Amino acid sequence: MGRQDGSGRQISADDVDDRSATVLHVDLDAFFVSVELLSHPEFVHLPVIVGHRGGRSVVTAANYIARRYGVNSAMPMALALRQCPNAIVLEPHMGLYRDYSSRVMSIFDDVTPLVERLGIDEAFLDVSGATNLFGSPAVIGELIRARVFAETRLVCSVGAASTKFVAKLASGLSKPNGMLVVPADDTIEFLHPLPVTALWGVGAATEQTLTRLGLKLIGDIAHTPLDVLKKTLGEASGSKLFELSWGRDPRSVTLEREEKSVGHEVTFEHDVTDIDRLRSELLRQCDLVAARLRRGNLVARRVSLKLRYTDFSTVTRSRTLAEPSNVGRRIYEEAVAAFDLLAATGIRVRLIGVRAEQLGTASGSVGLWDPDEDWRGAELAVDSVTERFGAGIVRPASFFKPRP
């Protein structure tokens, strides 16, 4: 799709009919790198990586030039420099990123009160009530892009559509520094030629399953009988992918809730190098985090992984859930996906932790489909057993290895 390096970029024509595209997804392009380049304009046309040069360090961010060499965030720095030996490496400054993020988000707030922040560098905006004041959605998108650049010298990409799912896809395809509008009537034409990996919830394992069925494009999923998808992927996942393949996404833009988090972490007595043991510990922690969320009637939108290595260097990686959840298996899927990007051979881990972030109340959080339905019942049953008999009575089978 060209999301990582800007190849295959798509932007809208000036005369696009945007009246139905009132949901905007605004994403700052290569945000960390772009902020650093404000202080180093001499490197703008060179491959640039943000991160520490230490032997165990990983890439925090890379600009589009570096991405064309195959450099991506969370990649070991040593590998990144082998792939792009002429890259400029700049140290990260998180306080600076938070400051610029705050300035950009205030621009969004000036346009509409309906701003749903997804992280430090992206947000959904519902501009349906702002068109009388500022103009059409496309005009508002360009106004935002112009203000962001004028006030911060940063660039952003905008996707505009009738749903959040399609708007986010559109912003990714318009990168870098573009805007793509998908009118409601053009949604199917836009979606169906895209690869199945563009759908939320399609990771490597699901992609392999779909490929075995001969389903490579979103249009292939749309024209597959729903019963076949449910049988192959499960009731919830099959229904969700089918609905998304037809552009159906019932979620509205919701206001940011008070920032809270729930987490667990452990410091090992001796550094751990066994990847399977680390994954097992992640599963244990995700189950604990999910149980705490359920007790508080909360769901999480984002999952954050924390690793501290033997030299005390620490990295964190966050992933946004397609749907807010309080199911341990769903939280674990995101946490282990982040972990697997960092789990290089020879890794020596001193501390590992998981945190659920961007919390909201569980009531009313499930939309047209419930992607966690397959696991929720089992985990609620475990909650009941735990409440009666204490923690640790029921544990996942993956915690136990067969005896030789």
331: left (phi over 0), alpha (psi -120 to 50) or beta: alpha
Closest C-alpha to 395, from 339, 338, 328, 323: 328
Active-site residue, selected from the candidate residues 122, 323, 334, 379: 122
How much is the pLDDT for 261? 82
Q: Are 168 and 34 in contact (CB under 8 A)?
A: no
How much is the pLDDT for 345? 61
Within 8 A by CB and 6+ apart from 33, the residues are 48, 49, 50, 61, 62, 63, 90
How far apart, in whole angstroms, are the C-alpha atoms of residue 5 and residue 69? 9
DSSP 13: -
How far apart, in whole angstroms, are the C-alpha atoms of residue 211 and residue 196? 9
CA triple 367-212-67, angle to 5 deg: 75
- Between β-strands 298-309 and 88-90, what pairing exists: parallel, antiparallel or unpaired? unpaired
**Beta strands, E only, 162-260:** 179-181
**pLDDT single digits (tens) 209-239:** 999 999 999 999 999 999 999 998 888 889 9
How much is the pLDDT for 402? 43
Is 208 exposed, middle or buried, given 0-12, 13-18 or 19+ CB atoms closer than 10 A? Answer: exposed
Coil, strand, or helix at residue 251? coil
Catalytic-residue membership of 189: no
How far apart, in whole angstroms, are the C-alpha atoms of residue 48 and residue 309? 25
How much is the pLDDT for 344? 67
HSE at residue 37, side-chain half, CA atoms within 13 A, is 23
Give the pTM: 0.67
Within 8 A by CB and 6+ apart from 8, the residues are 1, 2, 173
Q: Residue-wise pLDDT tens for the chain (404 aa)?
A: 434 555 677 887 777 778 899 999 999 999 999 999 999 999 999 999 999 887 668 898 999 999 999 998 888 898 999 999 999 999 999 899 999 999 999 999 999 989 999 889 999 999 998 998 899 999 999 999 999 999 999 999 999 999 999 999 999 999 989 999 999 999 999 999 999 999 987 877 888 899 999 999 999 999 999 999 999 888 888 999 999 999 999 888 987 555 568 888 888 888 899 999 999 999 999 999 998 888 777 889 899 999 988 877 888 899 988 888 889 999 999 999 999 888 766 788 989 999 999 888 876 444 445 555 556 555 555 555 445 444 444 455 444 444 44
